Structure 1
Amino acid sequence: MEETNYSRSALNRLDNSPKTKAILTAHTTTDDEKVSRSMEVEPAEELPTSGRKHTTYLDKLRLIRTADLRKPNGLLGMVTRPLIFLTFPVIAYAGFSYGSNLVWFNVLNGTASLILSGEPYNFPAWAVGLSYVSPLVGVAIGSLYTGLFGDWCVLKLARRNNGVLEAEHRLWLFLPSLLLIPGGLILWGVGAAQAINWFGCVFAMGVIAATNTIGLQLSVSYCIDSYRDLSGEAMVTVILVRNTMSFAVGYGLTPWVTNMGLQNAFIVAAFAGLLQCTTFFFFVKFGKGLRIKSVPRYAYYAEQIASSGLVH
């Protein structure tokens, strides 16, 4: 089927044309006139329509059409704005928070087969795959925590703030991650190095998956709550940061664990995860001020996106 394009500017010109206004004025009647004419049947008047040239089959096969060349090109803005949004501290932090939480699940994925299929567990391939039921449960618990409990929590905080909901209120939900991220990493890596029971390792998989879910949902929500009118392209910025961090750790994981050993590597990972998680305190304190300072730029880019017809 041929692609259908609508020109909103053309429709606006049609609605504001003198002929259209005259027709609409002619049909404007008082209540008494409506009653007197209720039994009358009038022929419908045609609204003015713009001339349309018949499109031939060969025209439909063209790679480039002159009408398309006259349209404003919004591609350049769509490419550059996500990079510009890196200068918004809140958006950059949301990407960092998303990526740093995802990194630990990547670390888990990269070492799961190494740990569970090796000594002393000797899991066959199907058992290693079956152990991922634990992350599935962890994701479900994390979703319930950030969803049902999270909404209840931010509403409580909003009531204490004279009924005003701030985007930073949701960041307080990171508090359990201060214990769960380092605890899950130590239980997984150090526990495996000390040959704890297999259930401890599988339980740690669920804990790490839950913290991953908490981190990504809170990071995305914080970004959208802060810059709702930029949310579509701001999410591109968040994903760029996330993917860069996820890509980088994949190449460094194997030599890291090989050179340091499981125990030392995951002790370092636990403290790095704890340090990463504490960054939310900075934005709880200063996030609102940073958002206020970005209001002029926020308004500028929101208007730019709206004029391009990209408002969600």
Structure 2
Amino acid sequence: MALGIIEPKGEARPPGTEYLVDTAQTSTEHQYEHSHFKHGKGKRAHIILVPQPSDDPNDPLLWPTWKREAAFAFLFFNCILFAACPGPMIAPATVALAKQLHVPVKHVAELSGYQLLIVGALGPFVSVLAQKYGKRPQFLVASFFGVIGTGICIAGFDQPTLHKSYDVLLAGRMVQGIGTTAFESLSVAAIGDMFFLHERGLRTALLVLTLACLSSFVAIIAGTTFQHLGARNLFVILLPIQMFGMAGVFFFLPESQFRRSDVATSSSPTASSAVVVPENEKASGNTITEDATTPPTPIPKRTFLQDLRLTSGTYTAIPLPKLLLSIFLHLFNPAVLWIQLVSAILVSFFVGTAYTLAQIFTPPPYSLSVAQNGFFFTGALVGGILGVSAGPLCDFTARRLARRNGGVYEAEFRIPVCGAAVVMFAVGWFVWGWALDEGKVGLGPMGVVYLCSFCYGCVCFGTSVASTSGGLYILDAFKPHATEIFILQMMIKNFLFYAFSTFVNEFAARGPGHMGRVFGTVTLCGFVACVPMYVFGKVNRVWVYRMWGRYLGEK
């Protein structure tokens, strides 16, 4: 048993169990020569690179630092523009926009709900197309439809009747949903394509920040913009920025999917071939050591213009229907059910509550304006930014536990960080319930607003930590299937978002404090699943890979 993790029977070493750190105990206990492996350089020279890169200079793991960082920068930027921005843009103005369009508040919430329904429904198709033809075409198509959807939303405010305006606006929001799907579901998997295990923590946390928490920053800006410039100008301002993001995808986000040889896919004793280090990568903290005995690779390096091609062929011979079915077969994997519980469901609580904030705080005794409703999200913004610390914390915990485990890293070492999320969720939801039910007497209306904003920030922090921990676990434990699993998570999450848009306003109207306590109770009960997931996770990994080997006809 490795630090509480039950070992499976037999000698199987599933992906997610890797030699990560050089220690004196490792060499003696596991009896293999670490010099066979490719290591980091400089301060990271003791880190074994996971996965082991190939000898192909076009391997995304071997891209020059500027190329990898530029690709990540536009991935991060476009996750904000196409995934984080559209949903919360109208959240602070839910009540005001309902009055402007002469529709019930519920119908305004459904402008976001139907958009998210489209995102969830398209998820499986984006997944199979990404597996078959790569991620770059999906990002390009998504950014194009995101721009078109925003243009339709602008046109919605120029219609002759209010009824027509609502219908066109709804159509635009649904087209925006097409632009959201790829960025929300493929981005974390793309990090696994381009970065080594020890480099993923901070970047995954930043993407979680955009997908789960930067919506708060959008809401702050949107509330003030709506109050001073009107709803139409929200989309007018967004459009040129999205066009810039679309250009960035075309020029700086090459295909990250790669057909990696089986010889160098993991840090195993047989992966002894070394790689030639590109000249512009020397002296970089991300580079790897050279082996003078290995001749230079004859594979030509692609040029910048060659990277601009729209597609790069096919990446699997598995038929599309079989790939589509495989997405739903992941529901038999307990780890997938666990991440739905600690990530998808919890994020849906956080986002679902956003549908109700204007409803709660616009009427007396709080009487917040649209701009003030936007500023309420400041707590969540701060909580989300602090939640980025989950990434480095996950990496630190992984290295520390790997050293204690004789240099061997287990994917389950990502899970203990969830303990910090449990504490913050408990504070956030239960203090929220108390403040709205009993806090007005002692704190006054504005005191309740400030306290609830703080509580919402605690929930946002917990959401960031849990989503980062869960995402890194899936990326490390089930990297070959990460795209399908993240798609499944995104699909379920967005279906939940849509479901919340149909009833959460009525739920909050019957008692927002009670709503917070219900969310808090379900959250704490759900996190109990982290214990068996940690203890039995490795046994589960062995079982899952055997099951998939049989399904795909592999030996």
Q: What TM-score comes out, normalization by structure 1 length? A: 0.68
* Residue of structure 1 in register with 2:406 after alignment: 162
Q: Deviations over 1:153-180 (max 9, x none)?
A: 1211111122111111111011022221
Of 185, 195, 209, which residue of structure 1 is paired with 2:460?
Answer: 209
**Secondary structure of the structure 2 residue equivalent to 1:165:** strand
More deviation, 170-179/249-258: 249-258
Q: Distance in 2 between matches of 1:180 and 1:232?
A: 29
How many residues were matched structurally?
234
Cα distance, 1:218–1:105 mapped onto 2, change above 3 Å:
same
Distance 1:215 1:297 in 2: 27
Q: Which moved more, 1:189-198 or 1:121-130?
A: 189-198
2:540 pairs, out of 273, 285, 290, with 290
Contact 1:186/1:266 (<8 A) preserved: yes
1:266 aligned to 496, 516, 531, which one? 516
For residue 322 of structure 2, give the secondary structure of its aligned residue in structure 1: helix
The answer on whether the counterparts of 2:422 and 2:462 sit within 8 Å (CA) in structure 1 is no
Counterpart-to-counterpart distance in 1, 2:410 and 2:552: 20
Determine if the alignment matches structure 1 residue 123 to structure 2 residue 373: no
In angstroms, what is the RMSD of aligned CA positions? 2.5
Q: Between 108-117 and 134-143, report the one with greater CA deviation.
A: 108-117
**Match of 1:278?**
528
Amino acid at match of 2:475: I
2:422 and 2:527 in contact (8 A); partners too: yes
| SS, match of residue 176 in structure 1 | helix
In structure 2, the residue matched to 1:245 is 496
What's the TM-score once normalised by structure 2's chain length?
A: 0.39
Question: What displacement does 1:85 show?
Answer: 1.4
Q: How does 1:1-312 map to 2 (within 5 A)?
A: 74-144=319-389, 146-194=390-438, 195=440, 196=443, 197=447, 198-259=449-510, 261-300=511-550
Is the 1:134–1:202 contact (alpha carbons within 8 Å) kept by the matching residues of 2? yes
CA contact (8 A) 2:421 2:463 kept: no
Identity %: 19
Structure 1: gaps (5+ residues)? 6-70, 305-312
Helix, strand or coil: the match of 1:162? coil
Give the match's secondary structure for 1:121. Answer: coil
**Equivalent position SS for 1:175:** helix
8 Å Cα contact 2:341/2:526 also seen in 1 = no
Q: Which whole-Å CA distance do the structure 2 matches of 1:279 and 1:171 have between them?
A: 11
- What's the secondary structure of 2:409's corresponding residue? coil
* Shift in CA distance, 155/221, structure 1 to aligned 2, threshold 3 Å: same
Change (3 A) 1:151 1:72: closer
CA shift in 2, pair 1:73/1:174, >3 Å: closer
Kindly tell me: are residues 187 and 302 of structure 1, through their superposed partners in 2, closer, same or farther at Cα, counting changes over 3 Å? farther
CA–CA separation in structure 2 for the residues paired with 1:130 and 1:74? 49
Looking at structure 1, the residues matched to 553 and 457 of structure 2 have their Cα atoms a distance apart, in angstroms, of: 43
Distance 1:119-1:278 versus aligned 2 partners, 3 A rule: farther
Alpha-carbon distance in 2 for matches of 1:73, 1:281: 36
Could you say what secondary structure the match of 2:388 adopts?
Answer: helix
